[in-house]
Amino acid sequence: MATSSFQTSWLAVALVVVASGITLAPPRAEAARAFFVFGDSLVDNGNNNYLTTTARADSPPYGIDYPTHRPTGRFSNGFNIPDFISQRIGSEPTLPYLSPELRGQRLLVGANFASAGIGILNDTGSQFINVIRMYQQLDYFRQYQQKVVALIGQERTRKLVNQALVLVTVGGNDFVNNYYLVPYSARSRQYSLPNYVRFLISEFKKQLMRLHDLGARRVMVTGTGPLGCVPAELAMRGRNGQCAAELQKAASLYNPQLIQMLKDLNKKYKSQVFIAANTQLTHNDFITNPKAFGFISSKVACCGQGPYNGLGLCTVASSLCNNRDQYAFWDPFHPSQKANRLIVQQIMTGSTKYMYPMNLSTIMALDSRL
Ligand SMILES: *[C@@H]1O[C@H](CO)[C@@H](O)[C@H](O)[C@H]1NC(C)=O
Ligand SMILES: *[C@@H]1O[C@H](CO)[C@@H](O)[C@H](O)[C@H]1NC(C)=O
């Protein structure tokens, strides 16, 4: 017994040494590919902390399950989708572009330009006052590259950007915080829903082309989630716990057209630059069968108030669940850390139904051969 337990612990020590050797040997910033993030609150990791805006997640209980147990600006109880992607590509989390810590070698890890409240359109989220709209996120990306050029020169910067992984998550707010924000909104008087969706897709296409012009060559683009099924909509619009029909219709019109637009762009560039991540499907899986994922509820938010905990903001005064991992939704709009982990699991290894034309593990295998 003694021998065997000695052997076990020796083995454990050996494994620790090997494992730490692997993680510590190359400087991390150089080792992993850079990662850039654009979009809204689903992927903002703290830019809005630096802005005068009401769209913020910088007070408790946000961040309660983050390693520091403090709010970070992420709209999650802990990690968000970009964090789990950074972990999967072997990188440290990207810093918010507005963070004063984003300088020197840390620039080489990449950057997060996302800003809660924004949409594809400039008029989306105008009630949040000062947020970083998509055109400005892209301007910042250009500015970021100038800083990196000063650090490592033109040629290496071009390579860093071309070889980087990019995530774009935007579009939900163009419905929730624009078209459907108030009855008879300006956009809903201007466009029928099908025409509004076509308009969004055409504007989004221009932004993605600009991203390509700026050097991005591997861009994962997520569709909207099941917009009508989030706790906020169940509380405000749903009937007897059913998802809000008009928002579900919007998502079902938008997502297929998004995939088609990405296919068209890939054809235009003669390369698989754009990858469609069908996060709606992943999310639908949670909603149709929460127990299969260890959730006791995919309707009730962990943090909030009122029916489904879906009303108002998540604050210290809210009702808060005990075990955050049992809830698909952390607050009335945003997935929990556990749900984010599962979404990234599908991004990594999902079939073509979830990731078109390929998943992130395939992308990484392909790109490592270049
Ligand atoms: C948003 O505003 C910027 C700056 O004014 C402008 O360049 C851009 O074309 C606008 N985008 C849309 C979709 O209207
Ligand atoms: C996704 O990843 C798994 C490996 O984790 C692989 O077997 C599968 O073929 C991949 N699918 C696509 C479409 O890339």
CATH number, residue 199 = 3.40.50
106 in any annotated domain: yes
Residue 290 counted as domain residue: no
**In Å, what is the CA distance from 298 to each residue of 62, 138, 150, 229, 320?**
19, 34, 48, 9, 15
94 is a domain residue? yes
The length of the chain in residues reads: 370
Under 8 Å between Cβ of 157 and 212: no
44 in active site: no
> Which residue in this structure is represented by tokens 């910033």?
29
- Give the structural domain span for 180: 30-278
Q: Is the dihedral of CA 53, 54, 59, 63 positive or negative?
A: negative
Q: Is the CB of 362 under 6 A from ligand 2?
A: yes
65 is known as an active-site residue = no
Of 161, 363, 182, which Cα lies nearest the Cα of 276? 363
**Interval 168-227: pLDDT, tens:** 999 999 999 999 999 999 999 999 999 999 999 999 999 999 999 999 999 999 999 889
Q: What separation in Å is there between the alpha carbon of 6 and the centre of ligand 2?
A: 40
Give the residue carrying structure tokens 């399950």: 65
Please name which ligand lies nearest the alpha carbon of 356: 2
Please check whether residue 195 lies inside any domain of the structure: yes
Helix axes 193-213 and 245-269, enclosed angle (nearest 10): 40
Q: Pick from 347, 352, 359, 363 the residue to mutate for probing ligand 2's pocket: most ligand atoms within 8 Å of its CB.
A: 359
Give CA separation, 98 vs 102, 206, 298, 355, in Å. Answer: 8, 24, 33, 31
pLDDT at 282: 85
Rounded Cα gap, residues 319 and 168, in angstroms: 32
202 Cβ inside 6 Å of ligand 1: no
Would you say 35 and 110 are in contact if contact means Cβ atoms under 8 Å apart?
Answer: yes
Is 19 within the bounds of a domain? no
- Work out the number of other CB atoms within 10 angstroms of the CB of residue 35: 21
- Ligand 1 pocket test, candidate residues 135, 173, 190, 198, most atoms within 8 A of CB: 135
Minimal-distance CA residue to ligand 1 atom 10: 122
Active-site residue among 99, 297, 331, 336? 331
The pairs formed by 309-314 with CB atoms below 8 angstroms and a separation of 24 or more are 309/231, 310/230, 310/231, 310/232, 310/233, 310/234, 310/235, 310/236, 311/232, 311/235, 311/236, 314/61, 314/62
Q: Does 120 map to a domain?
A: yes
**Is 357 inside a domain boundary?**
no
Tell me, using a 6 A CB cutoff, whether residue 122 lines ligand 1. yes
Q: Whose CA is closest to atom 14 on ligand 2?
A: 358
Q: What is the per-residue pLDDT for 93?
A: 95
State residue 247's pLDDT score.
95
135 in contact with ligand 1, CB cutoff 6 A: yes
77 and 327 Cβ atoms separated by less than 8 Å: no
On the CB side of 311, how many CA atoms lie within 13 Å of its CA?
Answer: 8
Q: Is 361 known to be catalytic?
A: no
Confirm or reject: Cβ of 349 under 6 Å from ligand 2. yes
What per-residue string of b and e applies to 96-135 under the rule 16 or more CB within 10 Å gives b?
bbbbeebeeeebbbbbbbbbbbbbbbeebbeebeebbbbe
Number of domain units in the chain: 1
Q: Is residue 295 situated within a structural domain?
A: no
Return averaged pLDDT per consecutive 10 residues of the chain, 370 residues in all. Answer: 33 34 39 92 96 93 98 98 97 97 97 97 93 97 98 97 97 96 96 98 98 98 93 92 94 96 98 93 88 94 97 96 96 96 96 95 88
**Of all helices (H) and strands (E), which one includes residue 8?**
helix 2-24
66-102 pLDDT per residue, tens: 999 999 999 999 999 999 999 999 999 999 999 999 9
Determine the distance separating the centroid of ligand 1 and the alpha carbon of 160, expressed in angstroms.
28
Position 22 scores a pLDDT of 37
Q: How far is residue 242 from each of residues 99, 147, 229, measured CA to CA in Å?
A: 41, 49, 7
DSSP state, residue 166 = E
Q: Is the CB of 352 under 6 A from ligand 2?
A: yes
